[in-house]
Amino acid sequence: MDESGVEHELRVIGHGESWALTGPAEARFTLVNEYLSYLSDRRYSPRTVRAYAFDLLHFCRWLIDSDVALDAVTTETLLHFLGECRDAVLPGQFGGNVVDLRSGRSAGYAPATVNRRMAAISGMFTFRAMRDPSAHNPVPRGAMSRRTAKGERSGMLGHLARPRSRSQLRVREPRRLPRGLKRQEIQDLLASLRSDRDRAMAGLMLFSGLRSAEVLGLAISDVDIARGWIRVIGKGDKERRVPLDPDVAGLVQAYLLVERPETTENKLFVVAKGPHRGQPLSAEGLRRLFRYHREKSGVLAGHPHSLRHSFGTALAEAGVDLAVMQALMGHDHVDSAAAYIHLSPAHVRRSYDEARARQRQVGQ
């Protein structure tokens, strides 16, 4: 059943890396489950596979309501679905042409959500075409883009990258710069944390720039307290080494010696009490933890990723080289690291003063 208590012909089941559609209508959408299994085999992030599973569930339910078979999907069908996502009236939203003053957009799913759904659909039909070249791919292809094998968008050898076709099934996304927390917000959020485990997790995000999934994925052996280094497995199973702040190292050591329960699990952070005591802390558990402390501290922007953004902003204000920022934060593209410079008035002012000083020397 969904949140309204209505029984559907289709729903998502799964855990971790394995996700699939199930229900009375499952036989009509075997392609979806084959595609989700393919993503897992390709070692896609479990979070990505889960997100795609629910995106495709939404699409398949829409097909059922529209009485359209998966094999009968055309470009016109996809454009109609895109419009439905864009114009849908969600709970708590106004309909029609009313624009929300906070978000600056009208009713409907956020552009990033719509684009992710269309990417899931596009990937599924590309997968079908790969298996059966005679099968029609209803996804319209757009302009060609260039990327090197390692994902860089530019460089001396950028012209050698093989062009890739982009889907036209996208909506324009507003460019939003990452938002870090103010000094007082950081202090208030950290002050609300009561255990060494929670302080250590927050410290790894704030002083080492780890993503929440990277924190949860840490094994005890990944943390070298003596030498002050952390081995991090990031997106796409990419490994990097980042420095460990001495104060955070002390919190980790105190947690291991005093708070961490006896368990055979090798994950660093585990549940401290309750029926799941000693089991690895889950993503939902971490979200619940931060939700509680946001309300307790009054720092409504105190999400795990905002601590990572605060780390990136601090690097930019210190004038750290973009390549170093990229390496520390595990970004695929240097453009992602460059976004933090726009958040740093100190960095912009320093660069401006240096340029003005050079210009004055030329004029003398």
Calpha distance 274→80 (Å, rounded)? 48
Query: Which residue shows structure tokens 């595990």?
Result: 330
Q: Is residue 304, in this structure, part of any structural domain at all?
A: yes
- Looking at the fold, whether 233 and 97 belong to one and the same domain comes out as no
Provide the residue range defining the domain that includes 302. 183-348
Same domain, residue pair 200 and 161:
no
Q: Which of 296, 331, 287, 295 is nearest to 312 (CA)?
A: 331
Q: Are residues 157 and 203 in the same domain?
A: no
Q: Let me know whether 152 and 80 are in one domain.
A: yes
Q: Are residue 136 and residue 233 in the same domain, yes or no?
A: no
Q: Is residue 203 part of a domain?
A: yes
Q: Which amino acid is at 25?
A: A
Do 128 and 273 lie in one domain? The reply is no
Active site residues: 211, 235, 305, 308, 331, 340
The tokens for 149 are 């094998």
**33 and 144 together in one domain:** yes
Give, to the nearest 10 degrees, the angle between helix 283-297 and helix 183-192: 110
Euclidean distance between CA atoms 125 and 70, whole angstroms:
10
Domain count for the chain: 2
Q: Are residues 287 and 161 part of one domain?
A: no
**The pTM of the whole model exceeds 0.85:** no
143/210 same-domain check: no
- Which residues are paired to 345 by β-bridges? none
Give, for all 364 residues of the chain, the pLDDT tens digit: 444 433 467 888 877 678 999 999 899 999 999 999 999 988 888 888 999 999 999 999 999 999 999 999 999 999 999 888 877 655 444 444 334 434 444 457 888 888 999 999 999 999 999 999 999 899 887 654 444 444 444 444 444 445 555 566 777 776 666 678 989 999 999 999 999 999 999 999 999 999 999 999 999 999 999 999 999 998 878 899 999 999 999 999 999 999 999 999 999 999 999 999 999 999 899 999 999 999 999 999 999 999 999 998 888 888 788 888 888 988 877 777 777 766 566 666 676 777 778 777 765 5
Domain presence at residue 341? yes
Residue 177 lies in a domain: no
What are the b/e assignments for 219-241, b being 16+ CB within 10 Å? eeebbeeeeebbebbbeeeeeee
Residue 355 lies in a domain: no
- Give the neighbor-by-neighbor strand order of the sheet with 229-233: 223-224, 229-233, 239-243
**Residue 267 and residue 159 share a domain:** no
Of 151, 148, 142, give the one whose Cα is nearest residue 162: 148
